[in-house]
Amino acid sequence: MPLEAQTLFIDGAWTSAASAAALDVRSPTDGETFTAISRGDSADIERAVDAARRALQGAWATMAGFERGRIMTNLSNLILANAEEIAQIEARDTGKPITQARTDIRATARYFEFYAGAADKILGDVLPFLDGYQVTVQREPRGVCGLIIPWNYPASMFGRTVAPALATGNTVVLKPAEDASMSCIRLAALAHEAGLPAGVLNLVTGLGEEAGAALSQHPDVDFLSFTGSPEVGTLIQTAAARNHVPCVLELGGKSPQIVFDDADFEHAAQTIIGVITQNAGQTCSAGSRVLIQRSAYDRFIAMLKERMSAVRVGAPAADLQCGPVINSTQAKKVQGFLDRARADGIEVIAQGALDGSAVKTGYFVLPTLFGPVPTTHELAQEEVFGPVLAAIPFEDEAEAIRIANGTAYGLVAGLWTENGARQMRVAKKLRVGQVFINNYGAGGGIELPFGGVKRSGHGREKGLEALKEYTVAKTIVLRHD
């Protein structure tokens, strides 16, 4: 781990911000400052982009795909060898229960394992054309990739963005969220230890409006990836447009869980409550709306009520279902949704409870089930990004589809029914990027293309599909007679 407030990794070395400024890092569990990070700004982004650009002209440019893959395999193995240390860092930084943190670190290692295997399998095409010509299409790296990741899954997001970028031969400038950078700092150190050449991976900590904005606006960045709010996503895309570079945006969701009256209620109820309380509901794909067929509404609500009431919230070490939200601003935002819903007369069906490990100075919010929620209410339309579940009844397939598609978002949907024909009918009509039938999340799904439509953004991450985002097609036409 680099020295405190020397958290910029540029051109293979740890350094402070050019301004020498630093930011305090607070624990969500108790609100106390436990370390500091460098407050990088445009000057530091300039250094990092320059290092990444120079690295494209060095050994990295001519390194065979299998050699890149070996370095990434080394990194995957180092992550697993240091998994408990990184999980403890992640839990302290984000407040998530330690079991969730351990799962995230295993997923991070899996990203590098998966894309290491793909690094020498990025295939082109041979196209039929006129007699006397040979036409090939090859995939080339984009160049310098600016990756701006959020605070909810910092380690996993490190893997999700950095791994495909490196596998395809790009260089990287990573800007982690100021609220949760610590695991990314440790991972950058392990990447260097794994044999990554200097300048290939650069990390700049700091504020989004300073370091993040400078990275998105830099004219020598060739590709941008951003996960966060639609509002900031608009700024990122505007900056990308000014420099005529492509970007992948994942901007959140208001994902529906659609429960028909023939569903496996036990499995559905357990999964739905688990999903909305995981990471304190701070998950872009969290199923925050549960649409229940009216003929089964009372019976299924009773099951959800029982499970939500049993949820306990506490410190990471207590290893409960739910921890704190990331900071005081987020706690106030989520509490505001709860207060306004009550003021609007929406019934609180069930709430979880605080465990003895939850101290008053921590950023804890009680998981809450509301219902029935009008489809026009903000609980049914806006992303709360907290452990809040809105129950909404529906009559039939047509109404379920209309309600499910009736928000500005379109990221993920869960569909619970034993009717095979209905499964496909409904799945095809849902305007989302992923549909899970009788399951949700698929264990992290490193192999599964992920991304949304509408206000949830565009482009795809994860799986082999991500390799297309990080490469550009070049057509070569050879006349040979």
Catalytic residues: 250
> In whole angstroms, what is the distance from residue 196 CA to residue 219 CA?
25
> What tokens were used for 101?
């943190």
The token duo for 26 is 């607070």
Residue by residue, what is the 3-state secondary structure of the chain? CCCCCCCEEECCEEECCCCCCEEEEECCCCCCEEEEEECCCHHHHHHHHHHHHHHCCCHHHHCCHHHHHHHHHHHHHHHHHCHHHHHHHHHHHHCCCHHHHHHHHHHHHHHHHHHHHHCCCCCCEEECCCCCEEEEEEEEECCEEEEECCCCCHHHHHHHHHHHHHHCCCEEEEECCCCCCHHHHHHHHHHHHCCCCCCCEEECCCCHHHHHHHHHHCCCCCEEEEECCHHHHHHHHHHHHHHCCCEEEECCCCCEEEECCCCCHHHHHHHHHHHHHHHHHCCCCCCCEEEEEHHHHHHHHHHHHHHHHCCEECCHHHCCCECCCCCHHHHHHHHHHHHHHHHCCCCEEEECEECCCCCCCCCCCCCEEECCCCCCCHHHHCCCCCCEEEEEEECCHHHHHHHHCCCCCCCEEEEECCCHHHHHHHHHHCCCCEEEECCCCHHHCCCCCECCCHHHEECCECCCHHHHHCEEEEEEEEECC
Edge-to-edge strands of the sheet including 368-370?
348-351, 368-370, 388-394, 289-293, 256-259, 412-416, 434-437
CA proximity to 102, closest of 183, 3, 220: 183
State how far the Cα of 41 lies from the Cα of 32, in Å rounded to an integer.
Answer: 25
CB-CB neighbours of 42 under 10 Å: 16
What whole-number distance in Å separates Cα of residue 172 and Cα of residue 454? 28
Phi, psi for 129 (deg, rounded to 5): -150, -155
